[in-house]
Structure 1
Amino acid sequence: MTELTPYLCVSDCEIAVDWYVESLGAVVVYPPIVMPDGRTGHVELAVDGARWMMSDEFVELGVMAPDPSRGAAVTLHLTVTDVDALCRQVVAGGVELDRGPEDSPPAGRVAVFRDPFGHRWFLNQPAPEDVGAGA
């Protein structure tokens, strides 16, 4: 089996975990490994089984959080059952939406936002006719 799992870097992993849990409904599926210097070296989260890994910055290893002034090099695409509800949570978490929520045939209902840690997310709620088709 081949699998691709994003590994995000954030400037404050402890705060990021709390935000993702509260605003995206994420769950911690692998607890934080805290390094001797207090930085989080690894943690894993998931939203309805969609998993990602995360750590604090380790500049000495070339691991750095995104620079929001440069835009986003990567977008995280998250398929959800209710884009509008998740957007309300994200906005309540202090984020402005870049796009949507809106209907965007044939993709379904979509929205885009940048989280407080510089990562760009594309939310997608497949059109009802596409749900069973593996879209």
Structure 2
Amino acid sequence: MTSEGKIPPIQVHLCVNGGLAAIAFYEKAFGAVNTFHQMAEDGKRVMHANLALFSGEIMLHDEFPEFGMSIKSPHTAGGASVAININLPKPEEVDSAYAKAVAAGASTVMEPQDTFWEARYARIEDPFGHIWAFNAPVAKS
């Protein structure tokens, strides 16, 4: 649950290989705040974590194939199947979020640019295989 105690109507739940490293990356790259995490009995994998970021929340966990879970990390599955879109209020925030993520270890998918849908937009791939997009409206010309 979020730090405010409200459950958002839609939450992203990410599967990763290396849950603790993912938490550390999201804290560094996105300013995420770890509001809760529970380790698995093996003491190595994250069973569940909640991270507050960009005025929202994501949940994440490591892979647990021994429980028959069909959710796989992008690296195991052969790539991401969705992109996580972060809507920001100002175009310069797209450039800032992109630069911070790349400095933290993300790969560039699409450098920040103005688009035909009148937005500033950029995409990165995090070290765990998830795709993040940053989007902000630009003034109409």
TM-score (norm 1): 0.84
Q: Report 1:1-135 matches (<5 A).
A: 3-29=9-35, 31-38=36-43, 39-61=45-67, 62=69, 63-67=71-75, 70-81=78-89, 82-128=93-139
Alpha-carbon distance in 2 for matches of 1:5, 1:105: 28
How big is each residue's C-alpha offset from its partner over 1:50-87, in whole Å with a ceiling of 9 and x where there is no partner?
21100111112323211378332111111124011111
Contact 2:54 2:86 in 1 (8 A): no
The root-mean-square deviation of aligned C-alpha atoms, in Å, is 2.1
Code of the residue aligned with 2:138 in structure 1: it is A
Identical positions, percent: 31
Q: d(CA) in 2 for partners of 1:2 and 1:18?
A: 23
**Following TM superposition, by how much is the alpha carbon of 1:47 offset from its aligned partner in structure 2, in angstroms?**
1.5
CA shift in 2, pair 1:107/1:11, >3 Å: farther
Unaligned 5+ segments in structure 2 are 1-6
Uncovered stretches (5+) of structure 1, i.e. residues with no partner: 130-135
After TM superposition, the runs of 4+ consecutive aligned structure 1 residues lying more than 6 A away are none
